[in-house]
Amino acid sequence: MKKTDYFSAKFENDEFIFLDQTKLPLQEVYVHTDDYEIIALAIERLEVRGAPLIGIAAAYALALSLKKTGNNDNDSAFYIAYERLARTRPTAVNLFIALDLIKSVFESHKNSTNIYNVLLSKAIQIHKDDIEHCRKIGENGLRIFQKKSNILTHCNTGKLATGGVGTAFSVIQTAFTKGLVNFVYADETRPLFQGLRLTAFELEHSGIPFSVLSDSMAASLMKDQKVDLVITGADRIALNGDSANKIGTYNLAILCNYHNIPFYIAAPSTSIDRTIPTGESIKIEYRNKNEILNPSGNRIAPDSYETYSPAFDVTPSHLIKGIITEEDIFFFPYNFLI
């Protein structure tokens, strides 16, 4: 049966329309809104997620915050929305880069008669740029393939995580169409199962053969020589290449190092934080204990248990063989200021 196509988010008729990713893969529910608070909540709840998509959604949301205000109220309405959106998730730098781009347009066009439309054009531009970045990441990534390969990936980096076709997923999909991918292993990605729920959904849609495995099975998979390459995305990359990505990515990089398997990151330049020299300064988000004790509303342990639940970890740059961006592939030692 041909699967119906899906999109992560689009802007149409003055509304932001997004696929609620918490309901995938069992239900495909699209939410229509022109309320920035609904978008802020969707980002917090991971209904809209993935570093580039968070930035795009926040840009549209900030533009929408001025859709209904009269010109006199613009200033306070804008900064309240800016602060609210900036509080949604701390780790993906794309969020802050997008919010600041919209803010600088606001500050230079404050007195324009239709500031909403001016901000909206900028949000559309941010979205279009991401579509192009994703395409180029896929093309650049072809250079890492030396043969038809088995790939292991973590979390979700496809159409669902971006405005375009993805980051690491774009590399996998582009290589697959060129006959360079044999098989994909998708880590389930505990505790929120982005691999099991979202990457598997996207791989199935793309017709790429795959298996899902629990995160703890990766070492055994590598020992059995079933993996040629590991590719993941990133939420924030420091100037020296240290990269924050979904919790468990660091484990994979260490395992790759031990098993002599190349470990790559694929991310747009909007995931590079040019203000931080190393990953030490990356703010890591910690999630609610319910996501471990009561996953998908299914209680498996008492609420009295304490949990340790960072949403991201930082992989030191010396463990990363290359960082694939829309500009090029960069290799260790990284210095993104040069």
Contact footprint for ligand MRU (CB under 6 A): 46, 49-52, 92, 155, 157, 161-162, 167, 194, 232-235, 245-246, 311
**235 is known as an active-site residue:** yes
Closer to ligand MRU by Cβ: residue 115 or 200: 200
The whole-angstrom separation of Cα 45 and Cα 42 is 5
Closer to ligand MRU by Cβ: residue 118 or 266: 266
The whole-angstrom separation of Cα 58 and Cα 88 is 9
Q: How far is the CB of 235 from ligand MRU (least distance, A)?
A: 5
Q: How far is the CB of 181 from ligand MRU (least distance, A)?
A: 18
The whole-angstrom separation of Cα 27 and Cα 49 is 17
Q: How far is the CB of 183 from ligand MRU (least distance, A)?
A: 20
Q: How far is the CB of 87 from ligand MRU (least distance, A)?
A: 16
The whole-angstrom separation of Cα 92 and Cα 46 is 13
Closer to ligand MRU by Cβ: residue 235 or 326: 235
Catalytic residue among 129, 228, 235, 242: 235
The whole-angstrom separation of Cα 72 and Cα 108 is 16
Q: What burial class does residue 325 get, using C-beta atoms within 10 Å of its C-beta: 0-12 exposed, 13-18 middle, 19+ buried?
A: buried
The single-letter DSSP state of residue 164 is: S
Q: How far is the CB of 53 from ligand MRU (least distance, A)?
A: 8
The single-letter DSSP state of residue 320 is: -
The whole-angstrom separation of Cα 175 and Cα 117 is 39
Closer to ligand MRU by Cβ: residue 232 or 315: 232
Question: Of 172, 154, 324, 311, whose CA–CA distance to 241 is shortest?
Answer: 324
Kind and range of the H or E run holding 218: helix 218-223
Q: Note the maximum CA span of the chain.
A: 66
Q: Annotated catalytic sites, by residue? A: 235
